[in-house]
Structure 1
Amino acid sequence: MASTANPAGKTSSTKTRRSPRLKRLLKTLGPGLVTGASDDDPSGIVTYSQAGSQFGLTTLWTALLTFPLMAAIQGMAARIGLVTNHGLTGCLRMHYPKWVLFFVLIFCFPAVILNIGADIQGMGAVAHLLVPAIPAFSFSILFTALLLYMIIKYPYQKMAGLLKWLCLGLLLYLIVPFLVHQEWSGVVRRTFVPEIHFDKGFLSILVAILGTTISPHLFFWQATMEVEDQQHNGAKKQLFVDKRVLKDMRSDVNIGMFFSNLVMFFVILTAGSVLFPAGIRNIDTVEQAALALKPLAGNLSYVLFAIGVIGTGLIAIPVLAGSLSYMLAETLQFSMGLDKKFNEAKRFYAVIIVSLIAGLCMQSFGLSAVRALLYTAILYGITAPVLIAIILHIGNNKKIMGSNTNSWLSNLLGFLTLILMTAAAVALIWLELAT
């Protein structure tokens, strides 16, 4: 009897020890998880669907490449926010010439608004597919109004809580590939054995994947949200940052970026295993991707994919609009914060309102989501290498970061990201000029 009771006791104590550890891990999830989930917006879903429909499973390996690069850069941005108690824009304003800050803002502002517009269009179009009786633009108006209500009504912590629950919606993309037949040995091989074709089409999709996953507005959002998170928890500016805080931040960022790349992997897998074998190559919008799945993978796959698009938009658009508003607020030094009520930060919320309405009106001016994404990619492509270089410089500056400068691994991954994003920017310009 004693011999059987002891193992049971061990099992019970092990579960008891694991439970607080799991609770603590879940508690640390915040800005990093939301940032990672927002990266898989409807615009990103289009890119990943294009990769799968045009090249099958050939680009699955890119998820393994972008994960450590994203984690390194977002981790640096988060550390800058924690250590300096300022967002990235605030650091640029205080430590760099004004022209650097204005250069970044000039290119980021239109890019973010175009991205918001493309996402709103995508959400409206997909919702129209599910409920054909209601026009797509009516859905776009509805989603815009809903998002504005959520952002203005709820303080940061409630908003962050809502966004974290919405992240669960992205798990829908992990289900779809299991609803169709898969040759899993081929999936594993394509994931771990990179294959590159040196032709224009393949290079274009690689550049698009890099530009979609490593987006400049996420750097600003990550740094600012770390500050907002600390302020909400009552932490004040200090000369040093507790090691546990940094460890929690790294866990949050790494899990968020892993989650983002996992979704990316499964969207490429879905398109590559369903659309590519059927000879469907031209996917320019999320509704085209959803419609193409319907006859090939069944109604369930179609509905899950469509609902996932709406969920990603509800996560991504607050992040896009919020990052834009924080950029301008830190530059012009007016009252800011998602924790503040509307009458306490009117200009901050006005920027969010204007950016969403401008994105909504994009359709009225005849600018399609496809064209908007092209312009966004070009603008992001120009600013990303500059921002990555600045983040690396700040992260290694002891006058700004004190003893919390970058590790050798962060620098290695950061410089690799800088090289790849610079090459992607050059390739993007070359590909556009060659068209």
Structure 2
Amino acid sequence: MAWLKNIGPGPLVAAAFIGPGTVTVCTLAGVNFGFVLLWTIVLSIIATIVLQEMAARLGIVTQKGLSEVIREEIKNKYIKAVAILLILFAIVIGNAAYEAGNITGSVLGFESLIGKLNINIGSRSINGVSIIIGIIAFALLYLGNYKVLERVLIFLVVIMSIAFVITAVLTEPDFSEILKHTLTPTFPKGSLLTIVGLIGTTVVPYNLFLHASLVKEKWKSKNDLKYARKDLIIAVVLGGVVSMCIIISAAAIQTQDIKNATDLAKGLAPFFGSYAKVFLAIGLFAAGITSAITAPLAAAYVANGCLGWNANLRAKKFRMVWMFILLLGIILSSISIKPIEIIKFAQVANGILLPVIAGFLLWIMNRSLVLETYKNSLTQNILGFIILTITIFLGAKSLLTVFNVI
């Protein structure tokens, strides 16, 4: 059981990218294109592992977070100011916008199992489940104990994985078709934005910051790099399997009238019984609550690194950042406000940020003064530059989509 001691930040990264947004995009991919876009998840897994390994290596070797290293290594004060402002706005404000979606996703899963729990205050109805989920997330974050947080999130990721795998198996898919479309890239008509969405929900900027910060909580020695890599690969592949299982489950639905994961749960029930609905609801609840915990945590690490604060889980300023994001998410979710304009801003900022951060990361990973003998190899650089090209494409597409150009 010694290997269990070296499982940690990886599942937290998987917990962060398998949120309600990923569940929804994967659902729509399965409903609209069947198994055809499964190859996109394989590409996303490879890209995520390559970039996240760099972030983890940076965190362990330097014992600093990514935003902290960027702040220290950019010497031009104007470029530094622009980079810090962009990172702060995209991650802190962006995660505040997405937090409402994370909590709402968890609420939808919870309500699919036990029904609604509304609290009437005057003429306004408040969703009580949002508040309950917010309190759970608050308690776990306020403890300020990395080991407790790690174990809870690992447990939730395992529950989420089992739930989605069972749901996919219940639909009795054709495994030869699954294998074919996993290994063969195809681009059916009208699939481009879905492909962009599938990759974009897996390769996310805030995970790079989160991972670099979390590994130094877990490991202090450069000799631990091998454990960090193993932990990352297992967790990200598992996350990819979860995404594939959602696509496979959605592909079993015969109707196109599916817009989100709760519609998927309802659509599966007539064909595969109430068990499919139950497992899918459990998976959605776990996906929502894990992202509801990791998004504020990532934002707090980013703010601390950018502003030069003490990135301690129990530090007052650290807590103030995640409290703000969590509270905003609870409020927006409980009164059912859809922060569309804020989310659009977050998409624009993240669309710009991902290639910028990938570029900064590649630059830093080649600096001998920072990483000494642990800098990137030629192979890592080639893979990194291929992924950078993809992120520039994704960023351009997301910007054009937000502004309704395409």
SS at match of 1:335: coil
Counterpart amino acid of residue 106 in structure 2: M
The answer to whether the 8 Å contact 1:124/1:138 transfers is no
Aligned to 1:196: 187
SS at match of 1:289: helix
Aligned to 2:151: 161
User: Following the alignment from structure 1 to structure 2, what is the Cα–Cα distance between the partners of residues 84 and 287?
Assistant: 43
Distance 1:365 1:131, change over 3 A: closer
User: Following the alignment from structure 1 to structure 2, what is the Cα–Cα distance between the partners of residues 119 and 369?
Assistant: 12
The answer to whether the 8 Å contact 1:395/1:401 transfers is yes
User: Following the alignment from structure 1 to structure 2, what is the Cα–Cα distance between the partners of residues 330 and 66?
Assistant: 27
The answer to whether the 8 Å contact 1:37/1:259 transfers is no
1:124 equivalent in alignment to 2:94: no
Alignment of 1:344-355 (within 5 A): 345-355=315-325
User: Following the alignment from structure 2 to structure 1, what is the Cα–Cα distance between the partners of residues 271 and 345?
Assistant: 32
Alignment of 1:144-293 (within 5 A): 144-153=134-143, 155-170=145-160, 171-197=162-188, 199=189, 201-230=190-219, 235=220, 242=222, 244-272=223-251, 274-275=252-253, 278-283=254-259, 285-293=260-268
1:73 equivalent in alignment to 2:51: yes
User: Following the alignment from structure 1 to structure 2, what is the Cα–Cα distance between the partners of residues 294 and 57?
Assistant: 20
Q: Deviations over 1:131-166 (max 9, x none)?
A: 225238210111001110111125111111111122
User: Following the alignment from structure 2 to structure 1, what is the Cα–Cα distance between the partners of residues 171 and 179?
Assistant: 17
The answer to whether the 8 Å contact 2:103/2:329 transfers is yes
Gap runs ≥5 in structure 2: 75-79, 119-125
SS at match of 2:201: helix
Gap runs ≥5 in structure 1: 1-22, 236-240
Alignment of 1:65-104 (within 5 A): 65-96=43-74, 97-104=80-87
Shift of 1:405: 0.4
Q: Which has the larger radius of gyration?
A: 1
Shift of 1:27: 2.2
Q: What's the Cα RMSD here?
A: 2.0
TM-score (norm 1): 0.85
SS at match of 2:10: helix
User: Following the alignment from structure 1 to structure 2, what is the Cα–Cα distance between the partners of residues 250 and 364?
Assistant: 39
1:34 aligns with one of 1, 8, 12: 12
1:430 equivalent in alignment to 2:397: no
Aligned to 1:298: 273
Shift of 1:194: 1.4
1:329 equivalent in alignment to 2:296: no
Moved over 3 A (4+): 363-367, 369-378
Q: Deviations over 1:179-219 (max 9, x none)?
A: 1232222111111111113x4x3111011111100111100
User: Following the alignment from structure 2 to structure 1, what is the Cα–Cα distance between the partners of residues 333 and 5?
Assistant: 40
The answer to whether the 8 Å contact 1:118/1:369 transfers is no
Aligned to 1:392: 362
User: Following the alignment from structure 1 to structure 2, what is the Cα–Cα distance between the partners of residues 417 and 287?
Assistant: 33
User: Following the alignment from structure 2 to structure 1, what is the Cα–Cα distance between the partners of residues 90 and 202?
Assistant: 18
1:50 equivalent in alignment to 2:28: yes
Distance 1:180 1:286, change over 3 A: closer
User: Following the alignment from structure 1 to structure 2, what is the Cα–Cα distance between the partners of residues 372 and 300?
Assistant: 37
Distance 1:48 1:107, change over 3 A: same
The answer to whether the 8 Å contact 1:228/1:337 transfers is no
The answer to whether the 8 Å contact 1:121/1:137 transfers is no
Aligned to 2:77: none
Q: Deviations over 1:75-128 (max 9, x none)?
A: 000111111111011101111123212222122222111111101111112322
SS at match of 2:376: coil
Percent identity of equivalent pairs: 23
User: Following the alignment from structure 2 to structure 1, what is the Cα–Cα distance between the partners of residues 334 and 20?
Assistant: 20
User: Following the alignment from structure 2 to structure 1, what is the Cα–Cα distance between the partners of residues 115 and 358?
Assistant: 43
The answer to whether the 8 Å contact 1:125/1:287 transfers is yes
Aligned to 1:63: 41
Counterpart amino acid of residue 256 in structure 2: I
* Aligned residue pair count: 392
